[in-house]
Chains A and B, each alone.
Chain A
Amino acid sequence: MKNQDRGFRIGAHIVLMLLSLLAILPFLLLIIGSFTDNAWAIANGYSFFPKEWSLKAYQYIGQQWSTIGRAYLVTIFVTVFGTALGLLITSMLGYALSRPELPGRGIILVFVVITMLFNGGIVASYFIWTQVFHIKNTIWALIFPNLLANAFNIILLKNYFENDIPRALLESAFLDGASELKTFTSIVLPLSLPILATVGLMSALAYWNDWTNGLYYLSERGGSQYYSVQNILNSMNNNIQFLANNATELAKAGMSGADLPSTTVRMAIAVVGIIPILAAYPFFQKYFVKGITIGAVKG
């Protein structure tokens, strides 16, 4: 019996090790690809073992930093601003809904939950955001559609405030004359840091990785100054010359389109896009796993 258990366990280690490699190696290929010599890559393809290495792709990114650096700033701004604003309005609504005595609470809850069941579809959303709110080709296009708040997070925070914060604490604060806002900011929020971190992390990842809002709401002519890193990557997928097309940028850098190390630079920009996530992953891993687990409880 003992032997059989051990055999099973060794088998589990082997399978999981292989799966881990399968998950990690493709990213290694991406990274190695970005350090490969462009001509070698064209002749021999991307490889784990290139014979000629080069930093050209990154030098090129350095020269194009006015474009890529701006995209980076856009990504950071959108992620920080969107996550902060979303967390703020979500937790305020969650707090109001966590109070059973609030008149009209049931109606507001139904109003929120209906959005989990029905939506108007992509085309209707597109027309509302572009024709009513005119966000096409503005920075708000990356922040407002879909990502700012959702029913799921509202319910999650409402349940936490309702079940995990002792009611007596709120009552004693009110007795001391504290206002709702004061109670919310100085008692409720500090006691809810774990759940706020989890929800905030999920939201930040969604903002960092989003490319669909840019695809729908930023056009290549007119909106490309608001491209995030993901949007740049997406545009280069369709058109590797996307960076090179930017004629004024090229003139400033003193390069022509032919100098573009196109095969390796696309990998380098992808690496630039994933490095912050990979670097931060060990620190947020705990909250990320927690986010998935609580997310699974209710859809």
Chain B
Amino acid sequence: MNKSRKLRRYLPLYLMALPCLIYIFCNNYLPMFGIIIAFKKLNFAKGIFGSPWNGFNNFKFLFTTQDAWVITRNTVLYNVVFIIVGMICSITVAILLNEIRSKTAGKFYQSAILIPHLMSWVIVSYIAYALLSNETGLINNSILKSMGKEVVNWYGEKRYWPFILVFVNQWKGIGFSTIVYLSSIVGISQDYYEAARIDGATKWQQIRYITLPLIKPTVITLLILSLGRIFNSDFGLFYQLPRNSGILYDVTNTIDVYVYNALMNNNDFAKSSAASVYQAVVGFVLVLTTNGIIRKVDRENALF
């Protein structure tokens, strides 16, 4: 009696919760079971469940290739550089933005710097093409030629791409992370700066001894969160920007791009599913580890 009344009372809430829970089950939980694909010798005629088991052979195929090392190295190294460069640039810009007293100017700068973040990577790759294309690119035609220099085959030369990728990643992402740091900086009480000025502290000293120490918690939280994602790469950046150019793979191929190409272009289910599970599992371990670290450093910000 009591139980059925309780059920009747909460039934509407359960019904309201249901659609989204079903979606999460289909979109997030079923693929977790789908991981078994990585241990199967996939045969489309027989379907996922009918295909024969293949043990760890798919992983063996993947890790005997040079690719496994290249995509791991690229994914992790680019992320490390992105984290360091991104942190320095966006904290700097946030501090500068905080100095602007004029509301109109501040809003203008902030809005302008955010525009690239609004655009998809496809659009960004079009812009990059307008700048870098061999025949019609602005840099080759308007800049290098007028300076009397040799034109550069941008999409065919590996050595430029680490710089291009880091630069474009910053260009697109700096507005976003600047706002995050800025929201932490504006929270600092003006009294500290007032007192420092009375004591004769220079601007640089104020930044060094007030701003930076006080935004340290934000910095650490964001740092740890991005460490947890170090095995994930931005598919758009690494796939769209180099226009999936095979010559550049050595410096542009990351796990996400590799999985896409193996799955959709080469029909190599063995290696693509192995790489995809490799990423998911290592990513999971990283998230758990970093969350463990957050719990030690600062319980409040732990995810769970």
A interface residues (Cβ-Cβ under 8 A, vs B): 1, 4-5, 8-9, 11-13, 15-17, 19-20, 22-24, 26-27, 29-30, 33, 41-42, 44-48, 88-90, 92-93, 95-97, 99, 102-103, 108, 111-113, 115-128, 131-133, 144-146, 148-149, 151, 154, 179-181, 184, 205, 209-212, 215-216, 230, 233-234, 237-238, 263, 266-267, 270, 273-274, 277-278, 281-282, 285, 288-289, 292-293, 296, 298-299
Task: Kindly list chain B residues whose C-beta atoms are within 8 Å of the C-beta of A88.
Answer: 19
Are B203 and A4 in contact (CB-based, < 8 A)? Answer: yes
Are A124 and B35 in contact (CB-based, < 8 A)? Answer: yes
Task: Kindly list chain B residues whose C-beta atoms are within 8 Å of the C-beta of A90.
Answer: 20
In the complex, which residue of chain A has the Cβ closest to the Cβ of B140? Answer: A45
Please tell me which stretch of B69-77, B158-166, B175-183, B246-254 contacts chain A, meaning at least 4 of its Cβ atoms lie within 8 angstroms of it: B175-183
Are A16 and B16 in contact (CB-based, < 8 A)? Answer: no
Q: Is the interface of B mostly helix, strand, loop or mixed?
A: helix
B171 at interface, CB cutoff 8 A: yes
Are A113 and B141 in contact (CB-based, < 8 A)? Answer: no
B interface residues (Cβ-Cβ under 8 A, vs A): 6, 10, 12-14, 16-17, 19-21, 23-24, 26-35, 37-38, 47-48, 93, 96-97, 99-101, 105, 108-116, 118-123, 125-127, 129-131, 133, 135-138, 140-142, 171, 174-176, 179-180, 183, 197, 200, 202-203, 218, 222, 225, 235-236, 240, 243-244, 256, 259-260, 263-264, 269, 272-273, 276-277, 279-280, 283-284, 287-288, 301, 303-304
Q: Which one of B16, B37, B122, B272 has the highest number of Cβ atoms from chain A below 10 Å of its Cβ?
A: B122
Give, as a whole number of angstroms, the nearest-CB distance from A121 to chain B: 3
Q: Which one of A11, A48, A118, A146 has the highest number of Cβ atoms from chain B below 10 Å of its Cβ?
A: A118
In the complex, which residue of chain B has the Cβ closest to the Cβ of A42? Answer: B136
Give, as a whole number of angstroms, the nearest-CB distance from A177 to chain B: 13
Are A211 and B120 in contact (CB-based, < 8 A)? Answer: yes
Give, as a whole number of angstroms, the nearest-CB distance from A68 to chain B: 15
Are B111 and A47 in contact (CB-based, < 8 A)? Answer: no
Task: Kindly list chain B residues whose C-beta atoms are within 8 Å of the C-beta of A123.
Answer: 34, 37-38, 259, 263, 269, 272-273, 276-277
Total number of residue pairs linking A and B with CB closer than 8 Å: 289
- Contact for B115 among A24, A95, A145, A151, CB less than 8 A: A24
- Contact for A27 among B10, B17, B127, CB less than 8 A: B127
Are B13 and A30 in contact (CB-based, < 8 A)? Answer: no
Inter-chain CA distance A111–B17, complex, in Å, is 12
Task: Kindly list chain B residues whose C-beta atoms are within 8 Å of the C-beta of A89.
Answer: 19-20, 23
Give, as a whole number of angstroms, the nearest-CB distance from A237 to chain B: 6
- Contact for A23 among B16, B175, B225, B303, CB less than 8 A: B175
Can you identify 29 A-B contacts, CB atoms within 8 angstroms? A16-B113, A19-B109, A19-B113, A23-B112, A26-B130, A30-B123, A45-B135, A45-B141, A46-B138, A48-B142, A89-B20, A92-B19, A92-B20, A117-B284, A119-B32, A120-B30, A121-B35, A122-B263, A122-B276, A123-B276, A124-B277, A127-B34, A128-B30, A149-B24, A179-B12, A234-B122, A273-B123, A277-B119, A281-B115
Are A267 and B126 in contact (CB-based, < 8 A)? Answer: yes
**Given A45-B133, A209-B118, A270-B122, 8 new contacts (CB under 8 A):** A19-B113, A46-B133, A115-B28, A117-B304, A128-B30, A237-B240, A277-B118, A296-B183
Are A210 and B130 in contact (CB-based, < 8 A)? Answer: no
